[in-house]
Structure 1
Amino acid sequence: MFLSKLILQIRPVVEEVVSAQAPPYTLFISICDGKRRAKVRHATADDFSTAWRSAVSKARRAAKDAEMDVCWLKVDWVTGIEETTWREIKRKLTTLTPCFFRNGIALDRDLKFAFLEQEINGNAMFYGGKKIEHAAINESKFKAYVRRRYQEQPEVDFSDENPVYVLSTKGFFTNGSAPPVPLHGSGRNIGRRRVKEIDEVTVARLILTSSQYLARQVRASGQFRYGRHACFDRNINHYNALRHVGSIYAMLEAWELTGDQKLKDAIDRALGYLTRKIIKPVTLPSGREVSYVVDGDEIKLGGNSICVLMLAKYVSLTGSKEYDLLMERISLGIDYLQNPDTGKFVHVLRYPDLSLKDEFRIIYFDGEAAFGLMRLYGIRKDPRWLAIVEKAFKYFISAEHWRAHDHWLSYCATEMILYRPEEKYYEFGLKNATDYLDAMEGRIPAVPTQFELMVAAEKMVYLLKRDKNSAHLLKKFDLDRFYDGLHKRANHLLNSYIWPEFAMYFKRPRNIVGSFFIRRHGFRVRIDDVQHYLSGLIGYLYYLLRNRTHKASNNQVDEDILEPRLDFDSKTIDNAKEHLKSAHSSTD
């Protein structure tokens, strides 16, 4: 039985660490088959062997009763106990973002009825719903999980004065094909594997698995499975055309690196759905024929801009001419949305009558428009598209758009500098990133768009270092602080990646493993969430590879290289793929 192999493999490393502690010992064993939520059993004893035998016996019985073909095993042990009251727990929860409680809980002093942090969050026991802005006890879900977890039903009384016990834990995880990996204990990293360094291989793993996740979400029709709430595998039935297009773009970025044919097939299916169902022909008042991405009854600047960005990427990678006319028509449609005198864009029109719905909706749309048209200019060198962006930037600068600290503005400023390395664009990009460092340093949640902002800004800094005419602008830019923030953000993203040791506590582990979640939204997994994590990590991997190559060449810079990108070296990707084969993840 594979469970026996996992138990034999993990016991020595657990025993070595736990036996060094003072008794008693409380051990939790979590078992999972990848298809269903993990079964968790635990035991307490004054010596390790007794606690181990008891916990293992309970786990084996649970596996047999559930007819579970176990593939993942996780062992946790209690390292600290703090007695408190439900009143204090409730007070603490009001200070936390939803799902950010990072400890286990026991209902009694002897830890007979106890729960890991992952059980609590995986079953939404401290999630009050989207209408409550802070963490809160969900009494119905808490009691429902207690009924499933324990045959002997404890009485759960949330009265303020009743005692409760907060647990700190540590653990190991194994899938049997690699040595057990140590897991972080209490704190913001709790429950996920320790990673010594977020290096090229680690980042490549995240890119490969999350792009494969997106590929699996593309149905035969080409429509995405839009998203799900991981705790209970509930589908998000809403659909958004902009996010459909943006997810294809991120998949193309990943396909450029991996060459994964299944990913390319999924891209083509999603493109087919886009052109058949989402993009519509429109006749402008002038009589000009254009095309628009239509979302319900709306024509959004953002959706059309990302579509141009995505199609330009597709053409640059494949050499296909299939979408040339479509790119032209959508770009002309974007031109119609710009005031030719001020450079300002209109954000939303009604379809099909083209009446104004929203002059402004969200700052993202402006940066997306400029970025998409700059990428189109990059492959076509048609001055029409550059002229639109130059007018737009005149407006962005006068309106001080950099105060929004938007990742799309960071992308488009960096792209503009590739072709117009003028100080005003550098200054805009630096302000967009620099003035946000204070806010970013204080942000605990892993927000992928913030990471994208920094990755795009890093590319601009790279260009600026080599621009003798404008490099002086960096004198006011704290490079050490910037790069320290970049690396911290990269490492913090690891807490939103769905490792197997995270996935196992949700209802359908295989449906989400290898993707990314948004913890504060009840562990939401949505295609655009994965898109932004994926794009940011791809940019970060380019930075890591470029930086390593730069150091290997004794810090000599090739002045003939304009575009600061390097292809993945085959050894890195091969190593990443081998690493993936050794893990139970979405590449199985």
Structure 2
Amino acid sequence: MNDLLPSSTVPCLAALQRFGAERLRLPGGDQEVLFLSTSDGSERALTVLGRGADLAAAWLDAWAQWRQRQVGEAGLPRWVRVDRVIHVQAANWGQVRRLLAGTKTNYFALGIAWDAALAQACLPEELWGHACLYSGDINACVPSDENLRALTRRKFGRETGWPQDDATPLWLFQTKGVFVEGEGPVQLLDNEGVMDRVRRIDQPDATLVAEAVQRSADYLTRQVTLSGRWVYGWYPCFDRPVPSYNALRHASAAYSLLEAWDLTRQPAHLEAATRAIDHLCRELIKPVAVPTGEAHVAYLVDEGAEIKLGGNGVAILALAKRIELTGEARHLALIRPLAEGLLRMQDAATGAFVHVLEFPSLAVKEVHRTVYYDGEAAFGLLKAYELTGEHRYLEAVERAVEYFIQAQHWRSHDHWLAYAVNELTRLAPQERYFRLGLKNVSRHLGFIRQRITAYPTLLELMMAASAMLDRMDTLGLEPLALDPGFDRQAFEQALHQRARHLFSGYFFPELAMFFRSPARMVNTFFIRHYSFRVRIDDVQHYLSGLVAYHQRFLSGARTLAPSTAPELSASP
């Protein structure tokens, strides 16, 4: 048996021993209990149970059980994860059901067993990976009987559904674990706070952030087809594609891939982003006939023949980013028509924008849909102004921002508004613009610190505000003089806290191994409460925030302040 064990046996056992757990009192006597999960990277993990009088005996038993489950002479697995049971609590279905109802979707981090000896038991990762606690409600773990039956049939050879009677006994258990990939180092897995169940990260450093950006950009690159259209997204639990499409997110994902290329300088990333942009220009941006003598107008046309205000904004951003980074002007001719399209959606008297038009009639479909469109449009117009020198675009943004101030847009704490205001203060550094940017973030710090979800746009919001604060420092402007409620120290702590928190939404291999097709999803970002969904715009927001974080705090331009912030609370 020993020649079948990986060379990491000794360090894994040593790492597990550090947890200091005592043998569990289970039927049959005091025992050590381990869950051994393995994967070759292409298929969902196989998880077996090992038990013994001590840790070494449990380890050998787990590998014996693993060997029995293999077909033929399979080699050692690529990924090995071992979870040591440290506590077991008897409960009943009524108690468990209430716990699930009070826990945000896919944040339930306890294993569940159907017998006191844990002979039939599942790790939380197995429940997540089979969508056993998801029904579409993002605010609670809702048991799925169908998906649990699929999991138990695969794992135990017999179907078990969720109990029907509240008195039915169940057992909840906690584990601490380790993970090793190949001959690599043993990773200790956290078991508390926002990084529960994956490797321990005290604060992301330059290497970790750059690697996450590189690998997530690799993921996006693989999603760009030869035609330049994206594979829009995946549901990892069952490796199913997201069937819809969104032209606005097509453009914004290309923009973020270019941001990532600015850090990675990998030719494949630029080539894929260019292919997506060429498709954008060729298939999704449409010229619109206007009265003779007016400037040429073009719109990004989305599914359902919709023209979205934000669509033109992010299309400009994608084209402008490629021009900025490469110096190539082949897409410059489209910047002005897209900007003119935005001007035609603005009320010149009030500065307000109309949000959705019908194509090709240009009839108003919705006056307002989402606050994000306003910030996207303003940011896009500012980039158009920089590239063309057309002052009407800057003036349009100034009118829009006056409207944003009157309408108290800062109450939405929108990351796109933060981007736009940061850019505007660079071009027109007026105190009222700085005040708007401060309010957009300062009233939101409590939420930012407490939010349990990864919520990647919060880091984007913080990074844009941070750039604006640096500008204020350069100009000698005191934030407290413009916004008495602003707390600079709390802001800095919340910013670094969010950067760490983003990695709770990252498919480290110790988590990806429990999903249907690990190789497709490993080392990219997901949205946990949407059943670990991976969509191009989900990855986009993580990338944009982390690229900015790396550039500003980890590249040597500034020093990363140590995080003294307390752990995030568990409230959603």
Question: Normalising to structure 2: TM-score of the pair?
Answer: 0.92
Q: What is the identity, as a one-letter code, of the residue corresponding to 1:499?
A: F
Q: After superposition, where does 1:310-329 map in structure 2 within 5 Å?
A: 310-329=318-337
Q: What is the identity, as a one-letter code, of the residue corresponding to 2:475?
A: D
Aligned mate of 2:51, from 44, 61, 65: 44
Could you tell me how far apart the structure 1 residues matched to 2:483 and 2:550 are?
Answer: 23
Tell me what 2:551 maps to: 542
Could you tell me how far apart the structure 2 residues matched to 1:114 and 1:61 are?
Answer: 18
Aligned mate of 2:482, from 469, 473, 479: 473
Tell me what 2:83 maps to: 76
Give the 4+ runs in structure 1 shifted more than 6 A.
152-156
Could you tell me how far apart the structure 2 residues matched to 1:497 and 1:155 are?
Answer: 30
Is 1:368 the counterpart of 2:369? The answer is no
Aligned mate of 2:343, from 330, 335, 339: 335
Q: Is the 8 A contact 1:6 1:174 kept in 2?
A: no
Tell me what 2:417 maps to: 409
Tell me what 1:271 maps to: 277
1:545–1:534 Cα change, 3 Å: same
Gaps of 5+ in 2: 25-30, 561-572
Is 1:442 the counterpart of 2:450? The answer is yes
Counterpart of 1:495 in 2: which secondary structure? helix
Tell me what 1:134 maps to: 140
Is 1:163 the counterpart of 2:147? The answer is no
Q: CA deviation at 1:237?
A: 0.8
The one-character-per-residue Cα deviations of 1:345-368 (angstroms, maximum 9, x if unpaired) are 111110011111011110000000
Counterpart of 2:504 in 1: which secondary structure? coil
Tell me what 1:253 maps to: 259
Aligned residues: 550
Segment of structure 1 superposing worse, 94-103 or 230-239 = 94-103
| Cα-Cα RMSD | 2.2
Tell me what 2:210 maps to: 204
Q: After superposition, where does 1:350-499 map in structure 2 within 5 Å?
A: 350-469=358-477, 472-473=481-482, 476-499=485-508
Q: What is the identity, as a one-letter code, of the residue corresponding to 1:443?
A: R
Tell me what 2:566 maps to: none
Counterpart of 1:209 in 2: which secondary structure? helix
Could you tell me how far apart the structure 1 residues matched to 2:224 and 2:544 are?
Answer: 18
Could you tell me how far apart the structure 1 residues matched to 2:498 and 2:344 are?
Answer: 38
Tell me what 2:14 maps to: 13
Q: After superposition, where does 1:512-523 map in structure 2 within 5 Å?
A: 512-523=521-532
Q: CA deviation at 1:8?
A: 3.3
Q: Is the 8 A contact 2:287 2:298 kept in 1?
A: yes
Q: CA deviation at 1:136?
A: 1.4
1:19–1:428 Cα change, 3 Å: closer
Could you tell me how far apart the structure 2 residues matched to 1:131 and 1:168 are?
Answer: 25
Q: CA deviation at 1:6?
A: 5.3
Could you tell me how far apart the structure 1 residues matched to 2:376 and 2:462 are?
Answer: 16
Could you tell me how far apart the structure 2 residues matched to 1:431 and 1:391 are?
Answer: 19
Tell me what 1:227 maps to: 233
Could you tell me how far apart the structure 2 residues matched to 1:179 and 1:131 are?
Answer: 38
Counterpart of 1:21 in 2: which secondary structure? coil
Q: CA deviation at 1:62?
A: 2.5
Q: What is the identity, as a one-letter code, of the residue corresponding to 1:303?
A: G
Q: Is the 8 A contact 2:138 2:529 kept in 1?
A: no
1:15–1:365 Cα change, 3 Å: closer
Counterpart of 2:6 in 1: which secondary structure? helix
Counterpart of 1:482 in 2: which secondary structure? helix
1:351–1:195 Cα change, 3 Å: same
Aligned mate of 1:125, from 109, 112, 132: 132
1:195–1:187 Cα change, 3 Å: closer
Could you tell me how far apart the structure 2 residues matched to 1:159 and 1:287 are?
Answer: 75
Counterpart of 2:384 in 1: which secondary structure? helix
Tell me what 1:216 maps to: 222
Could you tell me how far apart the structure 1 residues matched to 2:19 and 2:360 are?
Answer: 67
Tell me what 1:172 maps to: 178
Segment of structure 1 superposing worse, 173-182 or 149-158 = 149-158
Segment of structure 1 superposing worse, 470-479 or 164-173 = 470-479
Counterpart of 1:294 in 2: which secondary structure? strand
Could you tell me how far apart the structure 1 residues matched to 2:306 and 2:293 are?
Answer: 20
Gaps of 5+ in 1: 553-588
Could you tell me how far apart the structure 2 residues matched to 1:312 and 1:217 are?
Answer: 22
Q: Is the 8 A contact 1:102 1:186 kept in 2?
A: no
Q: What is the identity, as a one-letter code, of the residue corresponding to 2:538?
A: D
Counterpart of 2:195 in 1: which secondary structure? coil
Could you tell me how far apart the structure 2 residues matched to 1:452 and 1:465 are?
Answer: 20
Tell me what 2:103 maps to: 96
Q: CA deviation at 1:3?
A: 7.1
Counterpart of 2:230 in 1: which secondary structure? coil
Could you tell me how far apart the structure 1 residues matched to 2:368 and 2:403 are?
Answer: 14
Could you tell me how far apart the structure 2 residues matched to 1:178 and 1:240 are?
Answer: 40
Q: Is the 8 A contact 2:125 2:514 kept in 1?
A: yes
Could you tell me how far apart the structure 2 residues matched to 1:77 and 1:405 are?
Answer: 42
The one-character-per-residue Cα deviations of 1:261-288 (angstroms, maximum 9, x if unpaired) are 1111111211121122111111124663
